[in-house]
Amino acid sequence: MLPLKSTGEELNRNERKLYKSTQKYFFKNKVDKWSVPQYYKYEERKGGKKLQVNVRKEIFEMHLDHQLQNGAFTATKYLKLKNESKVAQLSPPVQQKDLIIAGRSPNNYINGSDYIRKDLPDQTKNLLRLEMEKDISTSDEAGFIYMFTIVNSQNKSKQYFKIGRGKDVEKRLKQWEKKCSYNANLLEKFKCKYTHRVERLIHLELSNIKVSLPPCSGCKEIHKEWFDGGLISNTKGSGLKAIKKVIQNWITFCDQVYGPA
């Protein structure tokens, strides 16, 4: 399924063609060879010169986001390519006063430091700012952000949390219990107007406490987006309280910028 443009519109025929040829560029070349000038030379040979520069840049950005989520490169490489492409450059107010144009609307200036923790790594802060400046996709939907836990069977002192999104949380957890070999303990669910955006912001902030679990003994798949509460509990309170605060923070951000659910 092809992604939507930042305006929420679908790609037209020529844009779809360029998107697919760009995909071949990413697979054809090694990560350390990816660069914006090289990409432009490649896509011009594929007929991309006919499209406006802003369209070509946006398609390049779509692939960058996809590759980052798949772990193809580090956040450092991602930010370098983002800045080269000038697709989502931080505006001067962001650099000077930490003001962010949320949702790319001049009426939505907010103070980034109200939502971004000071103790986060600089790369994480930059990734959060870039995400906050994006428009909400028309495919985003209302529902719940949920948090549940399992206890590590090898080390019962460790508690892992999963944060996800869905419309029917209880049904989702029953599917987990039926398909997998552990019982999920639902800790809390939060009503949310834009679950896709909020989940993405939460996962970005918690990326430094993300854990890789072995394949599930029940479904044999590798479950992603698990977080170690013990690695964040050295702030204030337990890991549960700290992660809950992160969830509530980003729901509050979306409520302020786009209106409550």
Q: Which two tokens stand for residue 255?
A: 């409520």
Bigger pLDDT: 46 vs 57: 57
For 85, phi and psi rounded to 5 degrees?
Answer: -75, -20
pLDDT > 70: what percent of the chain? 80
Strand order in the sheet with 159-166: 185-192, 143-151, 159-166, 226-228, 210-211
The ranges assigned to domains in the chain are 13-85, 92-133, 143-258
The distance in angstroms from the start CA to the end CA of the chain is 27
User: What are the pLDDT digits (tens) for 118-150?
Assistant: 889 888 888 898 888 787 888 899 999 999 887
Instruction: Specify the DSSP class assigned to residue 161.
Output: E
Structure confidence at residue 249 (pLDDT): 94
pTM above 0.95, yes or no: no
Q: Which three-class secondary structure state does DSSP give residue 226?
A: strand
- When computed from its CA atoms, the radius of gyration of the chain, rounded to whole angstroms, is 20
* Average pLDDT of the chain, as a whole number: 78
